[in-house]
Amino acid sequence: MRTVAVFSEADRGSLHVRQADEAFCVGPGPVARSYLNIPNVISTALITGCDAVHPGYGFLAENARFAEICADHGLTFIGPKPSVIAAMGDKATAKRVMHDAGVATTPGTDILASIDEARKAAKKIGYPVLLKATAGGGGKGMRTVENEHDLDRAFSSATAEAEASFKDGRLYMEKLIIDPRHIEVQVLADSFGNVVHLGERDCSVQKPSHQKLIEEAPAPNLSQKARNALHDMAVRACKHVGYSNAGTLEFLVSGDQVFFMEMNTRIQVEHPVTEMVYSIDLVKEQIRIASGETLGYTQRDLAARGHAIECRINAEDSSNNFAPQAGTLADVVFPGGPGIRVDTHVYAGATIPPYYDSMLAKIVAFGETRDAAIARMERALRETVVDGVNTTIGQCLEILAHPRFREGRYDIGFLPSLLKARV
């Protein structure tokens, strides 16, 4: 299959430009003028004779309007139907739809019409509660509220933040789940109603900004009861919404209790850990599904084997709130060997522009056991050289060596508390 890449003026030197069969510039560095410029992206696809568009992880990947515009121009959007993207993009709607499908959701409300309604709801749910932006996800416009006294202020500031970020200030409320794990389920669905899950990933190692740093599959120390509930709910949810393509359902897990949080209608950054344990190329499956093929296998044909871990190598100063680092990479050496995979866009001499996400590479380690995967990852990280900017390599090594990580007994509070203890 021949590929056409798009790039911004700041990304001329990025590896994807060289790896694709053809590459075209879609505008200057700032994302609004290049990667988010729909007319430029669509006209590149049309001029080069593309028949399908893979939207990647970010940018336009969960933009229902973009998916519609692709279809209007005879281009196959590699993703689910625009109506499903839109429904899952609105977090209050997604929760309502999932609840209707019989998926466990966090106790809470639909959109709150007023602060009065919020006050009544919080009393009924019981403090502490969480205000969330329906247009949000990822924590923007989210506020924890410990008691009635703090509610008015939290409601105003969350509304203002959501309005400023998304031009949609609408909020809903949930009971705060204390010390949960973030566990997500990978799904694949074709256009004929066939749905399978590809197990779960534990993504609880997150920075205070809610960005993931280390992910692993399968989730360690997960009860069979919780695991079955997660997998069953994910498949049921996809059948209910008429999902097609690859997707992820995010859950909060507390003991044996699981609560649906959000659904991502794209392929995710951390999909390689699932690819490693299932020996399935998820992007290939996305393309097969989008071209109208059936899955061609059922749940019984699928089984996870071994364990996989991903470390994100970001150009960030982990001792300074993970501040992004721009600059030129003086030297770069990536690891290899059995069970090691490196996905990257950089090389020695590459320039890191200030416009985009600070991720430089993903290092993924596979092992027959979790201990073997950890050992391989430690060796791979020690082999890695990225000189010229600060990176998260040291932070990842510190986490891998920590008893709570070793024992697989960490939750979403683990990395934030590790950072606080270091001061």
Answer yes or no: are the C-beta atoms of 286 and 275 closer than 8 Å: no
The Cα 253–Cα 185 span in angstroms is: 12
User: Taking the complex as a whole, how short is the minimal distance between the CB of residue 107 and ligand MV4, in angstroms?
Assistant: 8
C-beta closer to ligand MV4: residue 44 or 204: 204
C-beta closer to ligand MV4: residue 314 or 384: 314
**# binding residues, ligand MV4 (CB under 6 A):** 17
Stretch that binds ligand MV4, among 118-126, 133-141, 282-290, 372-380 (CB under 6 A): 133-141
10, 135, 151, 177: which one binds ligand MV4 (CB under 6 A): 177
Q: Is 176 in the site for ligand MV4 (CB under 6 A)?
A: yes
Q: Is the bond preceding 353 in cis, omega lying within 30 degrees of 0? A: no
User: Taking the complex as a whole, how short is the minimal distance between the CB of residue 122 and ligand MV4, in angstroms?
Assistant: 13
The Cα 380–Cα 325 span in angstroms is: 22
User: Taking the complex as a whole, how short is the minimal distance between the CB of residue 234 and ligand MV4, in angstroms?
Assistant: 17
C-beta closer to ligand MV4: residue 210 or 409: 210
C-beta closer to ligand MV4: residue 45 or 131: 131
74, 126, 139, 337: which one binds ligand MV4 (CB under 6 A): 139
8, 106, 245, 325: which one binds ligand MV4 (CB under 6 A): 106
Q: Of the listed 266, 312, 341, 370, which one is catalytic?
A: 266
Stretch that binds ligand MV4, among 61-69, 136-144, 192-200, 296-304 (CB under 6 A): 136-144
User: Taking the complex as a whole, how short is the minimal distance between the CB of residue 411 and ligand MV4, in angstroms?
Assistant: 9
Residue 320, C-beta contacts closer than 8 angstroms, at least 6 positions apart: none
User: Taking the complex as a whole, how short is the minimal distance between the CB of residue 330 and ligand MV4, in angstroms?
Assistant: 34
Stretch that binds ligand MV4, among 80-88, 132-140, 339-347, 381-389 (CB under 6 A): 132-140
Answer yes or no: are the C-beta atoms of 81 and 244 closer than 8 Å: yes
User: Taking the complex as a whole, how short is the minimal distance between the CB of residue 165 and ligand MV4, in angstroms?
Assistant: 13
User: Taking the complex as a whole, how short is the minimal distance between the CB of residue 403 and ligand MV4, in angstroms?
Assistant: 21
C-beta closer to ligand MV4: residue 62 or 174: 174
11, 62, 174, 270: which one binds ligand MV4 (CB under 6 A): 174
Stretch that binds ligand MV4, among 31-39, 57-65, 170-178, 191-199 (CB under 6 A): 170-178
Stretch that binds ligand MV4, among 6-14, 71-79, 131-139, 354-362 (CB under 6 A): 131-139
- Within positions 227 to 266, which residues make up the interface with ligand MV4, using CB under 6 A? 252, 261-262
The 3-class SS string of the chain reads CCCEEEECHHHCCCHHHHHCCEEEECCCCCHHHCCCCHHHHHHHHHHCCCCEECCCCCCCCCCHHHHHHHHHCCCEECCCCHHHHHHHHCHHHHHHHHHHCCCCECCECCCCCCHHHHHHHHHHHCCCEEEEECCCCCCCCCEEECCHHHHHHHHHHHHHHHHHHHCCCCEEEEECCCCCEEEEEEEEECCCCCEEEEEEEEEEEECCCCCEEEEEECCCCCCHHHHHHHHHHHHHHHHHHCCCEEEEEEEEEECCEEEEEEEECCCCCCHHHHHHHHCCCHHHHHHHHHCCCCCCCCHHHCCCCCEEEEEEEECEECCCCCEECCEECCEEECCCCCCEEEEECCCCCCEECCCCCCEEEEEEEEECCHHHHHHHHHHHHHHCEEECCCCCHHHHHHHHHCHHHHCCCCCCCHHHHHHHHHC
Q: Is 102 in the site for ligand MV4 (CB under 6 A)?
A: no
Q: Is 182 in the site for ligand MV4 (CB under 6 A)?
A: yes
Our answer to whether residue 300 is catalytic in this structure is: no
Question: What residues line the site for ligand MV4 (CB under 6 A)?
Answer: 106, 130, 137-139, 174-177, 180, 182, 206, 210, 252, 261-262, 412
Residues acting as catalytic residues: 266
